[in-house]
Structure formats: C-alpha cells, structure tokens
Amino acid sequence: MLEVKSLYVSYGGVQALTNVSVHVKKGEFVSLIGSNGAGKTTLLNSIMNIVSKQKGSALFDGKDVTKKTTSNIVADGMALVPEGRRVFANMSVHENLEMGGFKRPASEVKQKLAEVTEMFPVLGERASQMAGMLSGGEQQMLAIARALMTNPRILLMDEPSMGLAPLVIKEVYEKLKVLASTGLTILLVEQNASVALKYAQRGYVLENGRIIMQGKASELLGDNEVKRAYLGKEYKEKWER
C-alpha cells in the first residue's frame, strides 16, 4: 500500500535520512522506532511532502506520490497525526473535527463526525469545549479523530505516547488497535519502543537516519540489541511490573 524507496532528506548540511526504504502492506500495523533525533518525524513529514525529499520516492497504492502536494496526498487517503498533536487549542473540539473534514462533502463529514464520536465518546461530550482545555490523552484522541475526518486509508502517527502517562498511552494504543481491526493501515513512529512494538505486526529500527533493523515486531521486541538500546530501563518500568 505504501512503499518508500531509498529516501534521502537533508536540512542544509544535516543529513537526516540516508537510503531509507520502508513499506506497509494494506491492513498492516507497522511501527518504526528510534531515539531522539533519529529522523522519525522527518520520515513521516517527507512522505507527506511537508519536508522535501533530496532523493528517493514514495508510492501509495502503486501511484507515485513523491512530488504531490500535501493536500493531494491527503485527498488520496493518507493522513498524518503530527508529533505533539497540534490541535487548534483555541477552537472547540467540534471545530477541530470540522477542520479535518473541511475538504470533504457535507454528507460525508456528518457521517464521519458520527463515527469518530462513537469511537471517542469524550469528543462528543466535550464538543463545545476549547480543545486546549482537554487533557493530553484527550488531545491525542482528538488529533487522531481529526485525521480520521479526512477518511484516510492509511494513518501516519508521530509519537502518540509523547508526554502521556502509561495508562493513557495504553488507552490510545487500544484505540489504534480497534482502528486497525477495522482495516485501517497504520505506520507509527515512536521513541517508546516497547509499546510501539507491542501493538504492531512489523517494525523497523531507525538510527541516525538509517534503517538498521527490521522484522516482525515480536522478534524485534525479543532482540537483545533492541532491548539494550531501546527498552532498557523503560521496559522494566512499564511492562515487567
């Protein structure tokens, strides 16, 4: 469904991605893990063409989207839930959702609004509240729901666990699991390797802008090198209690 081939991205003199190839099949949940500054956000932003590519290509459903504009990529069925959620804090929850659907036909927006508020009841309950008043976890749910308003077939998720307590992280991932079970394809990037790999089928490890490992998520979770570099203390604290 999504195929990124030999991607190179640089910011001035900083080479952020080097020869990165990643693919996601229809219906898959794929997590890419990497530490601070590894290039995870750069990867998602360059797939969406928010950041421009130096070399390499991206195919979505066999169509070349390497040079398409971000809004055309979204129209094709790809949506990004950005790092730090980026909800419109001074707009209501309802308005945030409407912003997600603003390019879609009115009948579809209505239908989608009903779907996302069923999926995330809190967004229905808080519809008229300012988004900035929501908790971090609720804002993450809103950011996901806003992306869903564009009716995507693939969801790109940037660091959904950021700044959230373990229980809330679990809630967010459980929602992603439900979405995946409805057939939505997910490509997620995270520093929080343990949770990202726990929920995914397949994974990649990005280090200094290069893919250094890939495979089944369960195998990566069990890999000693991954454990040492990415799970360490955090793994013990969160999952071995």
Ligand X SMILES: Nc1ncnc2c1ncn2[C@@H]1O[C@H](COP(=O)(O)OP(=O)(O)OP(=O)(O)O)[C@@H](O)[C@H]1O
Q: Rule CB under 6 A: which of 102-121 touch ligand X?
A: none
If the CB atoms of residues 45 and 117 are measured against ligand X, the closer one turns out to be 45
- Candidates 3, 28, 83, 95; binder of ligand X (CB under 6 A) is 83
- Give the rounded distance of the alpha carbon of 122 from its chain centre: 21
What number of residues does the chain have? 241
If the CB atoms of residues 33 and 149 are measured against Mg ion, the closer one turns out to be 33
Burial state string for 139-166 with b = 16 or more CB within 10 A and e = fewer than 16: bbbbbbbbbbbbbbbbbbbbbbbeebee
- Candidates 1, 2, 16, 79; binder of ligand X (CB under 6 A) is 16
- Candidates 1, 20, 38, 188; binder of ligand X (CB under 6 A) is 38
Report residue 38 as tokens: 């590894």
Which of ligand X, Mg ion, none has residue 200 at its interface (CB below 5 to 8 Å by kind)? none
Residue 165 binds ligand X, judged by CB under 6 A: no
DSSP 101-118: TTTS-HHHHHHHHHHHHH
Residue 13 binds ligand X, judged by CB under 6 A: no
Task: Return the CA Rg of the chain.
Answer: 17
Q: Which residues bind ligand X (CB under 6 A)?
A: 11, 14, 16, 34, 36-42, 83, 159, 191
